[in-house]
Amino acid sequence: MITTTVRVGTRSSALARTQTAGVAAALGTAVELVPITTEGDRSRAPLATIEAGPAAAGAAAGTGVFVSALRAALLAGTIDVAVHSCKDLPTAPEPGIALAALPRREDPRDALVTRHGATLAELATGARVGTGAPRRAAQLRALGLGVEVVAIRGNVDTRLAMVADGRLDAVVLALSGLRRLGRDGEVSEILDPIQVLPAPAQGALAVECRADDAPTRELLAALDDGDTRAAVTAERAVLAGLRAGCSAPVGALCEVAVDDDGAAEIFLRASVTALDGSGAVRLSATGPATEAEAVGRRLAADLLAGGADQLMGRGQ
């Protein structure tokens, strides 16, 4: 039982604070929000650059630039709970930290925002489309629409302003973030995953605490959503199996349904796309929700067999 104020760590952006406030409100106890600046917030370099680094055997590449400072604060006892965008989490477990809750996921799809409401297919040849994600850039190029993909950084307001003032013709953002900020009315088109497959765990939040903090783990367990955990587990298993970080051109989306016998079953799609859009491998797998990680690992192996390493620039 929690008898003191729970200190909840959050990044300082408007989206992070909004997401964390939602989790805090659901806890039903006294909460103090503690803003923490991460390496990813300080640096303006491309994410692929600041996350670059060798992967440990069986682990994802990347350093968790939006996560590490919050985890350090957890382990130091400065905060009791950390709230992350789940897609930012490294896939390797962090000693001493428990992924205590994955609340019900928001819509994981990507969204296009244009200045005059045009859809992706309606954009003129040469239109400048901004994104900070190599995955989105690769998939947009693979569509062959003739748009110019522009690498950008910045929070949601900064990116939307680039469209409003004419620096860009469009930006692609996570629909979940726009909805949480109440700005989904600006969306011109929700992108079909058949065109642009979302990032693994996009739209989900990850709530962590210290592994040995039993009262807080019990408090957070009430926020966990079983379908979200199964889907996110499968998607992150694909990423782990590919030994890829969150800046890799990897898309994954898992849907959970109930079969004729009343058991939960997953349908998992994943893709790896060359950064220049010149090639891609896209496959799917199904299985029981109770075997979500195994299904994801199996699909990753199939992707590697189909040439995913070469598409990510790791092949000979």
Cα–Cα–Cα angle for 39, 54, 295, nearest 5°?
95
- The string of DSSP codes covering 123-146 is SPTT-EEEES-HHHHHHHHHTT--
3-class DSSP assignment, residue 190: strand
The alpha-helical segments, DSSP class H, found in the chain are 14-27, 39-42, 47-50, 68-76, 134-142, 156-164, 175-180, 214-221, 226-241, 292-305, 308-311
**243 φ/ψ sector (left φ>0, alpha ψ -120 to 50, else beta):** left
Residue with tokens 């300082």: 12
3-class DSSP assignment, residue 18: helix
CA 117 – CA 96 distance, rounded (Å): 47
Token pair of 244 as six digits: 């890829």
What are the φ/ψ torsions at residue 236 (nearest 5 degrees)? -70, -25
Q: Hey, is 94 helix, strand or coil? A: coil
Catalytic residue list: 88
CA distance 65 to 39: 5
126: left (phi over 0), alpha (psi -120 to 50) or beta: left
Residue closest to 136 by CA, chosen among 154, 111, 113: 111
